[in-house]
Amino acid sequence: MHEWSVADAVIRTVVNWASENHVTQVKKVKVGIPSFSFLDVEILKEAFDTMKGDSPLDKAELEVVFKDPIFKCRNCGLTFSLKDVSDQLESLKGEFGEEYPLHLMPALAPSFLKCPRCGSHDIVAETQDITIDGIEVEESGTAQTVG
Amino acid sequence: MEPLRQLAKEKLRGKKAIAVMSAKGGVGKSLVSALLALSLRGAVLVDLDVHTMATTKLFGLEDKLHEVTKNGIEPFKLGELGVVSLGGIVKDKYVVLPGGNAGEVMESLVAYANLGDANYVVFDLPPGLGDEVLTLERLTDFFPVVVTTPSAVSVKVVEYVMRYLNEREKRPLLVVNMAYMDCGDDKVARPFGDLKNAEDLAKRYNAPVVELPIDPSLESYIGKVHEYDGVVKGKVKKELVPYLT
């Protein structure tokens, strides 16, 4: 269900951007999502297609790219990936079920994941939440990509 | 482009945002926030203290999780009041976050909450001047309610917030919590000192002052604060609410 809020955020942001940049037709929106949020792409696309009508996005396609963050422990300096904390993620999903905290708020990661070497929660990740990584527009018959 | 921020800003558009804040802990911000939100018609209370989440404890919501629908995170309903707290997402798990993440979590709470057609959004802020104030400033032009007690140390610390707000050209309302105790026969006791320090502070920053009494019976409403209708709530309704409506 949370996918509907994410689609809402993406659509509102792009509509606002299109208005500021006098863009009338958006062809594609490329969205980056932290993989550990486990958003359902099918539901996200369904929500996007349902909510995009009557806007410069009415014909736009949604492209979703899942990003695997690299974490860095600020306590011991270890750099580690999602696979190094997969057991922690699994246990969290088991405890909370579908609407687990990192599904709703990826920025909560340091609270629920700890450094596999020293156990510290003082960790930072490059990708923390949803990002809009590119918008493809068509103006005067020319396709352009805006990063 | 920041989708979270955009959504949060739009969710707050057209609503009156009230930030209950203080530089000092333990002055009763959460209680003032709760009684204020309960006294306004059509309010959602958002607990931005993502580390202590006192709001869920005040309302007896500690073990409950928010329902998530197509409209977002559904506030807990207590009569007409909606309550949104990180406690409804993490249950009783402690929350330890670097500053940037804390700001992002606060933005997420506002962005993903279903604020519906609420007229007022009351934010219960943690003590101090940190990410929560900066985050809120990015999202909306909030009305500040600054809470202190009469004690000299509290008033001195709270001056940091008053000075900051003054620099940001915001005129706060100063609430002096636990200011007096009604002893009957028109007599009051002031166990935490007189109002002079707070009144001087308010005068320096051109802020109106509201004083709230001590009510020992309030303690027995922890976990069911929505059922409380005593003297403190009466004062909130009568003297605080008119500044905000």
What is the least distance, in Å, from the CA of A33 to any CA of chain B?
12
Distance separating alpha carbons of residues B135 and B108, to the nearest angstrom: 11
Q: What is the pLDDT of residues A127-137, one digit of tens each?
A: 668 899 999 99
Residue-wise over A52-62: b if at least 16 C-beta within 10 A, else e?
beeebbeebeb
State how far the Cα of A103 lies from the Cα of A83, in Å rounded to an integer: 17
Residue type, A24: T
Contact (Cβ atoms closer than 8 angstroms) between residue B106 and residue B4: no
User: How many inter-chain contacts (A to B, CB under 8 Å) are there?
Assistant: 92
Are B173 and B138 a contacting pair, CB within 8 Å?
A: no
Burial class (CB in 10 A: 0-12, 13-18, 19+), A64: middle
DSSP conformational letter for B32: H
| Cβ neighbours of B69 in A, within 8 Å | 1, 4
Please report the ipTM that was assigned to this predicted complex: 0.89
Could you tell me what percent of chain A has a pLDDT over 90? 75
Nearest residue on chain B to A110, judged by CA atoms? B97
Per-run averaged pLDDT (10 residues), chain B, 245 residues? 91 96 90 97 94 90 93 96 95 85 91 95 91 92 96 94 95 95 90 93 96 95 96 96 92
**Sign (positive or negative) of CA dihedral A10, B108, B133, B237:** positive
Q: What tokens appear for B66 in the block?
A: 């928010």
Q: B22 with B148: CB under 8 angstroms?
A: yes
Please state whether beta strands A123-125 and A70-73 pair in parallel, antiparallel, or not at all (unpaired).
antiparallel
Residue B103: closest C-alpha in chain A: A107
Residue that the structure tokens 């492209």 belong to: A63
- B10:A12 CB<8 A: yes
Distance in angstroms (rounded) separating the CA atoms of residues A75 and A119: 9
Cβ–Cβ under 8 Å, residues B3 and A13: yes
Q: Is A44 left (phi over 0), alpha (psi -120 to 50) or beta?
A: alpha
In the block, which residue shows the tokens 């333990």?
B26
Q: Give the gap in angstroms from C-alpha B99 to the nearest C-alpha of chain A.
A: 11
B13 touches chain A (CB under 8 A): no
Residues of A near B (Cβ–Cβ under 8 Å) read 1-2, 4-6, 8-10, 12-14, 16-17, 47, 74, 99, 101, 104-105, 107-112, 121-122, 124, 128-132
| Distance to chain A for B18, nearest Cα, Å | 23
Inform me whether the pLDDT recorded for A79 exceeds 60: yes
Task: For A6-57, write each residue's pLDDT tens digit.
Answer: 999 999 999 999 999 999 999 999 999 999 898 999 999 999 999 998 899 9
Q: Which B-chain residues 102-121 have CB contacts (< 8 A) with chain A?
A: 104-105, 108-109, 111-112
- Residue of A8, A11, A20, A30 to mutate, interface with B, max B Cβ within 10 Å: A8
Interface test mutation site (partner A, options B92, B112, B135, max chain A beta carbons within 10 A) = B112
Nearest residue in B to A16, CA atom: B6
Nearest to B84 by CA among B102, B106, B101, B103: B106
Q: What is the pLDDT of residue A145?
A: 62
Q: CB distance A130–B4 less than 8 Å?
A: yes
Distance from CA of A106 to the nearest CA of B (A): 8
* pLDDT over threshold 80, residue A139: no
Residue A147 has pLDDT above 60, yes or no: no
